Structure 1
Amino acid sequence: MRTIHGRWRDAEDAVTLVDAHHHIWDLTRNYYPWLRDVPEEHFFLGDYEALKRDYLPDDYRRDARDHNVLMTVHCEAEWDRTDQVGETRWVTAMNRQYGFPNAIVAHAWFTTPDSAEVLAAQAGFPLVRGIRSKPVTARRPGSPVAGAPGTMQDEAWLRGFAGLERHGFSYDLRVPYWHLHEAAEVARAFPRTRIVLNHTGFPWDRSEEGLAGWRRAMETIAREPNVHLKVSEFGLRDGLWDEESNRRIVLDAVAIFGIARCMFATNFPVAGLRVEYGALVRAVKRMLTPYSAAEQDRFFFGNAVDFYRLPDPATR
């Protein structure tokens, strides 16, 4: 099999994987407001000044150099929203130049008058497999936003969401765990749209009460058979990356969804604010020792290949 490096790592701790969620950006040429001139006050990892630099395919290759990365999926990175298709066009050009990313999760607002046109334009790019469009959410549990414009109960948002099925797009769901009950209702209403929950449902509150609430929410959305999970991004705003604490999150999440619906993702370079790429991959590999080699292969690359309709790695 061919990797994004063009070589195979035979080291004992080298993991073979498809990275189901990462970003690249060129701040010199392209406009990302949150990385250029509009600080995101409530960024979930706090200070993100270190991200305000170009992160190109060669930077990703450098970070991933110790592992066998077969293919990658690029997830939209909040490119200028007045040009929603621009990022797709640029990432497609990066694929032609570097051979990856191999699939794109693009962006389209669901509530704007041109939502259907933007979805159709995204569908014109062969690498686009799905859409991520963040709904309006509350910053903490119990904050009332349900039914507000842009939320998952907003009729306009739901009409826009319905356009995913017309193009065969999946949906990358990014919400904190206290919105997963609402997301489960969306999944139930659109059973033919495949949904993948990003970043392990954001288990930010590691207190026993917080983890219990996260598990209940995860169990609720996992009941919907069209929902899958990206096991990724365990970083905390005010805490270090801790393997033992994160092991509990990973094993609980995989047990709730079943390993057949879980896929690995790095969320680099964002996750790099808390952990080095190689250390992240090796740590998750250690966490999965209770599972068989075949199950681990499904987790690290097989499930992402199926979900995002990637080429068979054996043919690469």
Structure 2
Amino acid sequence: MSEPQTLIDSHHHFWALDGSVHYPWLEDEVDDHFFLGDYQRIRQPFLPADIRAQVPEGYRLAGTVHCEAESARSAPEVETAWLAQLAEQQGLPIALVGWAAFADVACEVQLDQQMRSPLFRGVRAKPITAGRPDQYCSTLGVRGSLQDRNWTRGLGMLEERDLSWDLRVPAWHLADAARLLEGYPALRVILNHTGLPWDRSDAGLAEWRKGMQALADNPRVAVKLSELGSPMAAWDEQQNIALLAEAITIFGPERCIFASNFPVTGLNASYAHWLAMVEQAIADAASEARQAILHDNAVRLYRLATG
């Protein structure tokens, strides 16, 4: 019998919804602007046992990287401390990406508090972006945008501390992000969700490819093969597999990592189904890199200790 394929899930979320950590979007009013629409099905606890139960036969989950799940912004260290405790008790996650208020005077304190956890690797802080490409110009230069120097100073704080930045912007902002990162040559960046190619028109995908290439030209940027749900297009499995394969070709297999974005991706596909889609993209674009994309690259990029 062949050995199971080792797997690192480099982007998922846990929440208990028991008061340990407050998640306004899950526990208070529903966010009517959630990018995948109705998310009622995921407004329930999702914990280590739940993600382990999702992994199909033939794989061994060697570890996971938790990405911040938009907990109460007043105290991001609460989620980090809870995750560290969860890891000690249940073995997952083995690393985490937190949050910090880049434009706030508290940012440095928030980073340093979270760095007390040996699991803390970096930050996902989302800039202000346009919800659609035709709204792009309305966000340029506004407070909290990629052009706001007060906000982007947070990137310098990450660079100084050797922390990574999880970058999450829709495709029409990828080129802006690439230009911004020219000013932070030592910053390690992991692009979330395959660059969010929400606009599936020919023009929209051309812009996605241009932005992806601009980021790939920076050797310090990697990409998560994750979440291809779109607020502008129906779920299209074959197109999504093709986009995953393109991302592998653009960045090169050594800078691509598997990620589930569970439980959110579960709104469109099961864990096993999403994993099979990534596997197909690997087979189509870089079959020799299966071990690297499913495990080794995440170990290197997030500096993981795995068994």
Shorter-chain TM-score: which interval?
over 0.9
Match of 2:181 among 173, 183, 187: 187
User: Map of 1:88-99 to 2, 5 A cutoff?
Assistant: 88-99=80-91
Distance 2:122 2:273 in 1: 29
Distance 1:161 1:134 in 2: 12
1:272 to partner: Cα distance: 0.4
Q: What corresponds to 1:17 in structure 2?
A: 7
Secondary structure, aligned partner of 1:130: strand
2:197 is equivalent to residue 203 of structure 1: yes
Contact 2:24 2:72 in 1 (8 A): yes
1:207 to partner: Cα distance: 2.0
Q: What corresponds to 2:298 in structure 1?
A: 304
* Matched-pair identity in %: 42
Q: What corresponds to 1:6 in structure 2?
A: none
CA deviation profile, 1:224-256 (whole Å, cap 9, x unmatched):
111110010012336554321111101111111
2:51 is equivalent to residue 41 of structure 1: no
Distance 1:234 1:176 in 2: 11
Match of 1:51 among 23, 30, 42: 42
Q: What corresponds to 1:173 in structure 2?
A: 167
Match of 2:146 among 132, 136, 152: 152
Match of 1:28 among 5, 8, 18: 18
Query: What TM-score does the superposition give when structure 2 sets the normalisation length?
Result: 0.94
1:89 to partner: Cα distance: 0.3
Q: What corresponds to 2:110 in structure 1?
A: 118
Distance 1:119 1:131 in 2: 9
1:15 to partner: Cα distance: 4.3
1:100 to partner: Cα distance: 1.1
1:292 to partner: Cα distance: 5.5
Query: What TM-score does the superposition give when structure 1 sets the normalisation length?
Result: 0.91
Question: Aligned in 2, Cα 1:291/1:252: closer, same or farther, shift over 3 Å?
Answer: closer
1:152 to partner: Cα distance: 1.3
Question: Aligned in 2, Cα 1:202/1:291: closer, same or farther, shift over 3 Å?
Answer: closer
2:54 is equivalent to residue 60 of structure 1: no
Q: Which residue identity does 1:34 align to in structure 2? A: W
2:231 is equivalent to residue 237 of structure 1: yes
CA deviation profile, 1:89-133 (whole Å, cap 9, x unmatched):
000011001111000001101001111111111111110001011
1:216 to partner: Cα distance: 1.2
1:290 to partner: Cα distance: 3.5
Please list every run of 5 or more consecutive structure 2 residues that lacks an aligned counterpart in the other structure: none
Secondary structure, aligned partner of 1:302: helix
Considering only aligned residues, what root-mean-square deviation do their CA atoms show, in Å?
1.7
Q: What corresponds to 2:209 in structure 1?
A: 215
Q: Which residue identity does 2:98 align to in structure 1? A: A
Contact 2:245 2:284 in 1 (8 A): no
User: Map of 1:244-283 to 2, 5 A cutoff?
Assistant: 244-283=238-277
Distance 1:215 1:121 in 2: 38
Q: Which residue identity does 1:300 align to in structure 2? A: L
1:301 to partner: Cα distance: 0.7
1:41 to partner: Cα distance: 2.2
Please list every run of 5 or more consecutive structure 1 residues that lacks an aligned counterpart in the other structure: 1-9
Secondary structure, aligned partner of 2:197: coil
Count of aligned residue pairs for this structure pair: 303
Q: Which residue identity does 2:128 align to in structure 1? A: V
1:183 to partner: Cα distance: 0.6
Distance 1:11 1:176 in 2: 40
